Structure 1
Amino acid sequence: MWPVLKINTSCYRAVTRLDLSVRWVSNNATIPSNLFLSPGEWKNLPPNTILQLHEERKFKLGPNYQPNVDELEALYSTSDFTGQTKNQIKQTYQSHWAANISKKGRQKHIKVKKYSPNELKHGLRPFQFDDLPTSVQEDLDDIKETRYYQRIAAFELPQLIKFRQEYKPVDMKQNPITYKYTTYMGEEHPNSKKVVLSCRTSELGLNDKQLHKFKLLARTRYNFETDQFKMSSEKFNEPLQNAHYLHDIFQKLINESKDLSMETFEDIPLDTRHIKSQNLRKRKNGKTYKFPEEWNRPEDAPKEMINILKEIFN
């Protein structure tokens, strides 16, 4: 950090605070916003304005700030206003410009970086305690968002009453087919493209011969215990494509089942081995064993204890 010019007077603090607001609010048209880059033009300005430009130059230039002889000459003119002598001002400013004096003892001007208007537009105005901190602004944003949805709930949602309709369950006889989609909210998953088609064969409107042929063609996709036909597809990348593919396959299966001109397949029994094997696997994984009746020994069973609560309430 560069040494700061010390001014021991309370009057200066009050005046500079006042001039700070006047400079940025009322005198913005008379004093250019980039005047701090040209210390040579600070002459004949009021002392409080010179001090403000000095602080502004150090703040906005930051690491690029370098002492300037014109700036020091302008600070000399504030001696009567601040109550400090020129020697005191020079000693305070010494660390800035001592290293920039040539070997011949002549003072040289320092080239100051020229900022474009776009660079001075954002983030270069010093904080004047005229805005809320970042944490408070975040809390206010949360409150604004909450109130936004509260206004929607209070004023817009009641208007949806005019679109209210009575719920009627889906007639499974008219719409026997069900499509099942899987969605993983907020993330991508390879299983999200999978679509499952299911229906009950008794609701397809087929006669006994057509239904038997349909079950034979379905093979392992038909469960004779639940009368449920099910098939799935994840062949395509989009769920809608898989749904259309399942619809086409199911339509071909229905058309083949209705066509009894060539063969009815009445003499072929229904294959149920895949369902029986599924049940065996479930029993094996669940470890459900039936206790043999010949192992029962009722004479060794523990004697029943007296239930005091039952005796009292009875």
Structure 2
Amino acid sequence: MHFQKSGTRQIKSLLSRQAVRSYSKKENEVPLYLNPHAWKGLPADRIYELHNLKKNDLGDKYNPSDEERNAILSTFQSLGVNKPPLEYVYEIDNFKERYMNNTPSKLRGLPPKRSNVRVVSEGATPHEQRRAEELHRISAYEMPLLAKLRQPYQPTPDTESPITLSFKSSFPDEKNNSNKVYLMCDIKDLKLDDKQERKLKILAGNRFNFNTNKIHFTCDKFNEITQNSRWLVDTFNRLLAEAKDLSDDFSDIPLDDRSAKPKNSAPAYPKEWLRPEDAPIARHNVVQKLVDDVKRKKDVKYISKYSP
């Protein structure tokens, strides 16, 4: 009985030791993606998969070792005729620049500097330079292609609209563009009679310029230039229709022309105010006359040496 108990104890102890050994062996076993030294010789796509697993697992603590660098850089030769996916090629091309020790920390992860396009990490000036360069490329390579769309010039017919719409825009600098639209019209182009013209001036108010005989309107209440243009044209058409309606010709309302400026802004000086007797007396500057005489004599003496 005692022998049986001791035997069972020995068997249990052996089983427990074996379990501990197997458990410790499994516990100490490290996954393949954490052993970069074992990546050598694997296919390129497998090395890339292990590299991504390591990055995702370690997160911010990820720091590539020399074994991982050598394993990844050894796959360059395998990228020959059979081109791998673009994502893999991008990752391999930027591996050196992002994780080498000689790259500044603020420049890691940026795209590589290729061709003649200068890459600057921060600031608004590089973006403006890139836009200017892009516009130069368009003007050099794309604009000449518009020659095939060239059409002969056709002069505008005589039935041209009397109103003129204008706005300001800058093609290179779009942020300084404005949505304000200007409308201008000369009254003589509307071909109105005297009563209609007088009523239109009264309705226009201070938007009519008596010096130029033109009506000026502006609008910037909408975000788009086309909306502001439409509002100006509709307003002007309503104003013109009201001016042509002579059921009430506004004959009892005087025309306010106070905004008209005189042609000669400076008033003429009256001749009656001239008093020549009060003019200052011209004094005789003897010293200046002597100086001028000496200069003149020296000039004549100097020129006489070179004259024939």
What range is the shorter-chain TM-score in?
Answer: 0.3 to 0.5
TM normalised by structure 2 equals 0.45
Larger RCO: Structure 1 or Structure 2 (Cα < 8 Å, ≥ 6 residues apart)? 1
TM normalised by structure 1 equals 0.44
